[in-house]
């Protein structure tokens, strides 16, 4: 475990709260300090730390690789930021994109033609962990003259199939 400033501050806050709580039960200071010192790590690691992980939206960032993209489609959101910032797909042809990412998952709809647009490919990136997350991450790759011009990240509502 790495000891950081936020860890020390949170442990001190938890200790103070536990100390104040135990002080209401027993007035002996030495016993109050002893119980507070013993209980603080348990309360921190079994109550506060899990709550922080549930409600925070932190996930590991990884470098883009084609193998990771195809082998773990549910974790694509971890490598999508690197893919977008490094612009690895910009100016690639459709065949190069298929080689790197595989076949598109769905095409965008073009209302003017009332048909799917073959120049806008979509891929699902998975669902970022966190409580109350109702959206899945996706990207839209836009082609012009058979080359990638933009990559647009967007969020889509998570829909579950009814099994009746």
Q: Let me know whether 77 and 47 are in one domain.
A: no
Residues 91 and 125 in one domain: yes
What would the mean pLDDT of 71-97 be, rounded to a whole number?
A: 90
- Same domain, residue pair 141 and 94: yes
The β-bridge partners of 76 are: none
Residues whose CB falls within 8 Å of the CB of residue 88, separated by 6 or more in sequence, listed in order: 64, 100
CA distance 163 to 14: 45
Number of domains in the chain: 2
Residue 144 neighbours by CB under 8 Å, 6+ apart: 119
In this structure, are 43 and 76 located in the same domain? no
How high is the pLDDT of residue 154? 92
- Helices (DSSP H) in 93-152: which residue ranges? 94-101
Q: Mind listing the pLDDT tens digit for each residue in 85-124?
A: 899 999 999 999 999 999 999 998 888 888 898 999 999 9
Q: Are residues 78 and 135 in the same domain?
A: yes
Q: How many angstroms separate the CA atoms of 33 and 16, rounded? A: 10
pLDDT > 70? residue 164: no
Same domain for 17 and 91, yes or no, is: no
The tokens describing 30, both together, are 């030495």
More confident residue, 97 or 22: 97
Residues 74 and 129 in one domain: yes
27 and 105 fall within a common domain: no
> Six-digit token pair at 54?
């549930």
Per the structure, the complete domain to which residue 15 belongs is given by 5-55
pLDDT, the chain, mean: 86
CB atoms within 10 A of CB 148: 21
């Amino acid at each position: 475990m790495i000891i950081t400033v936020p860890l020390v501050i949170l442990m001190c806050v938890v200790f103070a709260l536990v100390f104040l709580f135990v002080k209401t039960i027993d007035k002996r200071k030495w016993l109050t300090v002893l119980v507070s010192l013993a209980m603080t790590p348990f309360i921190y690691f079994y109550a506060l730390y899990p709550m922080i992980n549930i409600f925070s939206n932190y996930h590991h960032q990884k470098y883009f690789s084609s193998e990771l993209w195809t082998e773990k489609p549910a974790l694509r959101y971890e490598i999508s930021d690197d893919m977008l910032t490094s612009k690895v797909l910009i100016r690639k042809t459709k065949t190069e994109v298929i080689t790197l990412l595989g076949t598109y998952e769905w095409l965008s709809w073009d209302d003017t033609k009332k048909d799917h647009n073959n120049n806008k490919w979509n891929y699902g990136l998975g669902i970022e962990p966190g409580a109350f997350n109702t959206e899945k991450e996706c990207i839209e790759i836009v082609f012009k003259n058979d080359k990638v011009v933009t990559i647009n990240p967007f969020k889509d509502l998570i829909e579950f199939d009814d099994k009746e």
